[in-house]
Amino acid sequence: MKFRFFIPVIVVALLAVVFWRGLFLDPTKVPSPLVGKPVPEFSLPTLHDPEARFTDARFREGPALFNVFGTWCPGCHTEHALLVEMAGTLDVPIYGLNWKDDRKAAIAWLQDDGNPYTDIAFDKDGDVAIDWGVYGAPETFVVDGDGIIRYKHIGILTRDVLQEDILPLLETLKAETQGGTP
C-alpha cells in the first residue's frame, strides 16, 4: 500500500509534462484543413492591371509560393526584405495575394521597397482570402505543380522557417515534378 503515496506525485509529474509542452505551443497558429487539398477556384484582377486576371490555373504550372499580404499589416513589412531576397534566389515563382488593401498604396509600397512577386492577385473584398482559410496576414502557402496546397506558414516568414520547412519542401516538389513528367 506504500505506493499510494506516489499516485499524487505521478499525477503532478504527468500534468507538469503536459503543461510544459503547452508552454511551447502557439495557439494563434491554427492548422489549416486546406493542406493536402487543391487550391480553391478563384479569379481575381491583378494588382497592377485591373483588366488582367489571376486565376487558380497559375498553380498548375509548377510549384509556387503564395504569400498573403497587405500594406496595413505590420508583419508583412517585417518579412518583406526576406521575400525580396527569396525572389532573387529561388527558382519558383512567388505569387502574392493583396488582401483587403488599397490598390495605390500597395503599388507604391512595392515600388519603394521592391517587388518580390511574380504576379499579384488583388482581393479587395477578402472573399478569396476566406476561401484560402486566411485569417491573419502574413500567411505563406507552398503549392505543388498539381495545384495541391502542401504547406502553410502563418505569421512572419523567418530564415529558420525558410531553411527548415520551405526549402526542403521545394526540393521534394521539384523531384516530384521531374519524376512525374518523364
Partner 1 sequence: MMRSLMLVLLLAMPTAFAAENRFEDPQKQERYTQLINELRCLVCQNQTIADSNADLANDLKDKVAGMIHDGKSNEEIIIFLTDRYGDFVLYRPPVQPNTWLLWAGPALLLGAGLLVFGFTLRRRAANADREEITDNGENT
Q: Is 131 in the site for partner 1 (CB under 8 A)?
A: yes
Q: Which three cell numbers stand for residue 151?
A: 504547406
In angstroms, the CA 16 to CA 19 distance is 5
Residues 7-36 that bind partner 1 (CB under 8 A): 27-28, 30-34
Query: What is the closest distance, in whole angstroms, from the C-beta atom of residue 101 to partner 1 in the complex?
Result: 11
Of the candidates 48, 100, 103, 124, which one interacts with partner 1 according to CB under 8 A?
A: 100
Q: Which is nearer to partner 1, 26 or 112 (CB)?
A: 26
Q: Which is nearer to partner 1, 26 or 160 (CB)?
A: 26
In angstroms, the CA 50 to CA 113 distance is 22
Q: Which is nearer to partner 1, 33 or 88 (CB)?
A: 33
Q: Which three cell numbers stand for residue 108?
A: 507604391
Q: Is 132 in the site for partner 1 (CB under 8 A)?
A: yes
Q: Which is nearer to partner 1, 61 or 127 (CB)?
A: 127
- Asked if 80 contacts 113 with a C-beta cutoff of 8 angstroms, the reply is yes
Query: What is the closest distance, in whole angstroms, from the C-beta atom of residue 137 to partner 1 in the complex?
Result: 10
In angstroms, the CA 76 to CA 53 distance is 24
In angstroms, the CA 139 to CA 154 distance is 5
Query: What is the closest distance, in whole angstroms, from the C-beta atom of residue 136 to partner 1 in the complex?
Result: 6
Q: Which is nearer to partner 1, 28 or 111 (CB)?
A: 28
Query: What is the closest distance, in whole angstroms, from the C-beta atom of residue 103 to partner 1 in the complex?
Result: 17
Of the candidates 53, 133, 167, 176, which one interacts with partner 1 according to CB under 8 A?
A: 133
Instruction: Point out which residues bind partner 1 (CB under 8 A).
Output: 27-28, 30-34, 100, 125-127, 130-133, 135-136
